[in-house]
Structure formats: structure tokens, C-alpha cells
Structure 1
């Protein structure tokens, strides 16, 4: 086995482990945010109406580590050997060991996708800081894709650290993008979608996207530089439009008719990481 393949294999194993954790992030982070918002609303209600009875806070610690993962159907706590990425799913044949309820195929798919992305980073950059940086970039986009698709939320807890990481890594020289290009990429990414948002809202009275999309596009600009913004938004828009039409034709639109844009921005970002932003323009004939 060549050195490149060995390094890719090492990062693939790391990616599978990270992917297992990303499944927890995708499931729990939106619920953690909902709890936080409920507590803040209750506190605000108590401040504005002294003497009023506030709704009780939800009992029990709930974060990315506690409580232990369990089957949503029977409550069976997942043992360590039932949580080995990819292997446990195959061994259990996609079923809970206690109640035989089906385990969603998305869990191993997230693990597999993350492992493959990490492997590519290892093959492309070897065991280096740059490889770890892009592996972290990949993990963040996988998590954001799952969360946005489920909830139409792009949490600041992920988008803002991703944005700052791009700027800091550029300043440190770990990314090949000069800091000036990274900075203007972040500014251009945010302002471009912000302007589109307000133009659409003034014209129709409706909100076409959320502020999380602005922050994610700003993060992509920080990682790839301002020159990548046009190919990134073109690819995201084309894939988003095709997917939206397909979902509508098969009557799969969610309540309200929303199709989250974040997953398509993430896909464009991962494509640019693998093949370069210029290849996106070439693929669509520009």
C-alpha cells in the first residue's frame, strides 16, 4: 500500500468515528437550541410580567454527551459494541437489538459519507494540518446538511465557527487562499445573499431564505476566496432548483412548501473542495 493510500485509510477510520458523532449532532443540536430558546422566552416572560408563572424548564441534562443514545422506540440504551460505525449497523442488520425496530439508513450513510470525505482529504493532502482543516470543513458541512434538511435551521453554533476557522486558517497560511481573498470572500458571501433576501422580500413580501444561508455562504467565501462565490452560488442554485422541481412533482414538499437551501450550498462547497471551484463553471458550460 502506498503512503497516500495509507494516510487516506487512517483518515477514513477517523471520519467514520466523526460521522457517528455527527449523527448525534444532527439529532440533538436542534433540540438543544429549542430548549435554550424556551428557557430564554420563559425568563423574558418572567421579567416582563413580575409574579407571572413561567413554564417549568425541561427536566434532565440534555447535550451532545448526555443522556446516552437509546432506541427511540423502546428506550434500549445503545451499548458500545452496537455503536461501532458502519460495522454495528451491518451486524444488527439495521434493527434494534432489543425491539427489532428498523434503524434509519441515514445513520450509516452519514458515517460512510464522512469517512469518504476524510479519506479524500488524507489522499489529497496527506497527514497534515491542511488535511485536518478540510476534514473539519467536511464534517461541518455534513452536519449542517442534515440539520437544515430536517429543520430548516443552520445553527450559528456551526456556521460562525466555520466562518472564523476559514479566516484564521487563511491567516496562518494553512489554507492556500490569501487572507485578503478570504476576508472579501466572507464579506461578499454574506452581502450577496443578504441583498437577494431583501430584494425578494420587498418584491413579494415573503422571505425566500434565512440568515443562516448568508452565514454559510460567508463561511464558504472565507474558505475559498471571493473568486469562488459565483461558481458556488450557481451550482447550489441549479441543483436546488432541480431538486425542488423533483420534490414538487412527487408531491413531497413539506408544510409551507419550503426546500432548504443550505444542503445545496454545502454540496457546492464539498464539490469545490474536491475538484476546485473552476471545475463547477466548466461543468455547467461557462
Structure 2
């Protein structure tokens, strides 16, 4: 998706600047996502059905293209295993219900967005906005809401967006720098639509803790300084998934802990 977005942005910029459109040879269109068959980026070999089975095909091919022998990144089986495990947890948590089906869609979009954000620091509108609208629709079309009622979903989307938007502008006014991207606002709005307004604060808190731990470890391993920008989207995704799928109630757990203390 990122190469296709960048290709379209270049075309839009040339049109805005009234520059001549580049030929297909000078600026080839990146491969399709849905219609075009999967193929090797090295030699163009189109994958047969048995070469496209998650995890198993990578093992059978020993991590190399059957056409040219080019190494296939281990990212493929790792992401496939992770996604399969998360899907299984959704079914284990909700059973064979509509909630499980919706949670699987929710999970798949979060995995895709996390991977894209980690690699490119982009959170495409093509993923964040459908997630937002789907969360709002599921609160309306199902009596009482599939996960949360409509009022909570609408307020969750609004509070989610405005909370990070406010932090962004406060940080920019104080430092003159941009602390995060607009994609983070939209992702938190989507998570608020799915999890409800009461989950926005727990999601922000959990994502901040997860981001601090994982981000610090990553900077140490890579030998980077603290000024290195770190994508925040994956940590929001982790927190949102924990709250929705695992039904983790941070504020409720804290209240019970205080009561016991």
C-alpha cells in the first residue's frame, strides 16, 4: 500500500503543479493489492496457490523464490503466525459469534496499520477511516451496540481524536516541533468508536507504557539517541486490541486494587 500511495501522491503533485504526466516506463505503477496475483518482486514469478499458503509455503520453499532463488523475508511467516494467533484469541474470547467476526476484522486492520507505520511512519486514511466508520456502524446496526452503545461510540471517536489533536498542538506551540502525525488522531478516534468513550484514557495510558518500554529497548538495541522519532500507531493498536479483545478494564482494575489496599 505505501508504494501505491506515494505513486498517487506524485501524480497528484504533478497535476497540481501543472507538470506533464510521466510515462508508465518513467514512473511505473506499483503492484496491485487485491486483483493482481502475488508475485516475486525480483523476477516477477507469479505464485501458484500452494506457494501462497500462510507459513507453510515459506517453509516448503525454504524461504526462497521458486523462480529465481531470491530470499523471501521472514517477515511474511512472522506476521502470518502473529495474525493467526490473534485471530484464534478473538474466537477463544468471543466464541463463534458476530463479535468474534468483527474482532477479527478489527485485528487484521490493526496488524496491517502497525506494520505500515513501523516501516514508513504512515497511517493511511484508507485503513484508519474504514476502521472508524465500521466501529460507529457496528454500534448502531446492532441493538445496544455490538461492543458499545452508539452514544459511547460517537463520544469515543470524538474524544479520541480531540485528545491527541490537543496534545499535538500544545506540544507544537511549546516546542515548535510536531510530536505525532494526524494518522494517530484518526486511529485513536477509531479505537474510541470500537471501545467506547470510557476506554480512551486507558488506551492512551497503556499505549504510553508499552511505547516507553518497547521504544526504549528498540533505541538501545539500535544504538539510537532519544531524539529518534518512534511511530506511536503500533502502541495505540496494541492498547486498543488489549482493551477490546481481552476486555481489559484498566480503571476498573485500579479501583479494585485501591479498594483492596
Normalising by the smaller structure, the TM-score range is 0.7 to 0.9
CA distance change for structure 1 residues 253 and 102 in 2, over 3 Å: closer, same or farther?
farther
Give yes or no for the alignment of 1:40 onto 2:12. Answer: yes
Give yes or no for the alignment of 1:65 onto 2:37. Answer: no
Query: Contact conserved, 1:61 with 1:67, CA < 8 A, in 2?
Result: no
Q: How does 1:21-170 map to 2 (within 5 A)?
A: 29-46=1-18, 53-56=20-23, 58-60=27-29, 62-65=31-34, 67-170=36-139
Consecutive unaligned residues in structure 1, runs of 5 or more: 1-28, 47-51
Q: Bigger CA drift: 97-106 or 173-182?
A: 97-106
CA distance change for structure 1 residues 60 and 67 in 2, over 3 Å: closer, same or farther?
farther
Q: Bigger CA drift: 175-184 or 66-75?
A: 66-75
Deviations 1:67-92 (A, max 9, x none): 43222334333222111111111111
Q: Bigger CA drift: 159-168 or 103-112?
A: 103-112
Q: Normalising by the residue count of structure 2, what TM-score does the alignment of the two structures yield?
A: 0.88
User: Quick one: which of 261, 265, 278 aligns to 2:236?
Assistant: 265
Q: Bigger CA drift: 69-78 or 263-272?
A: 69-78
CA distance change for structure 1 residues 56 and 281 in 2, over 3 Å: closer, same or farther?
farther
Q: How many equivalent pairs are there?
A: 251
CA distance change for structure 1 residues 53 and 178 in 2, over 3 Å: closer, same or farther?
closer
Query: Contact conserved, 2:148 with 2:195, CA < 8 A, in 1?
Result: yes
How far apart, CA to CA, are the structure 1 residues paired with 2:158 and 2:98? 25
Instruction: Give 1:276 shift.
Output: 1.8
How far apart, CA to CA, are the structure 2 residues paired with 1:104 and 1:53? 37
CA distance change for structure 1 residues 54 and 229 in 2, over 3 Å: closer, same or farther?
same
Give yes or no for the alignment of 1:190 onto 2:154. Answer: no
How far apart, CA to CA, are the structure 2 residues paired with 1:269 and 1:250? 26
Deviations 1:163-209 (A, max 9, x none): 01111101122513111111111000000000000011111111000
Instruction: Give 1:54 shift.
Output: 4.5
Instruction: For residue 122 of structure 2, give the secondary structure of its aligned residue in structure 1.
Output: coil
CA distance change for structure 1 residues 153 and 94 in 2, over 3 Å: closer, same or farther?
same
Instruction: For residue 65 of structure 1, give the secondary structure of its aligned residue in structure 2.
Output: coil
Q: Normalising by the residue count of structure 1, what TM-score does the alignment of the two structures yield?
A: 0.80
How far apart, CA to CA, are the structure 1 residues paired with 2:21 and 2:91? 52
How far apart, CA to CA, are the structure 2 residues paired with 1:135 and 1:142? 10
Instruction: Give 1:274 shift.
Output: 3.0
Consecutive unaligned residues in structure 2, runs of 5 or more: none
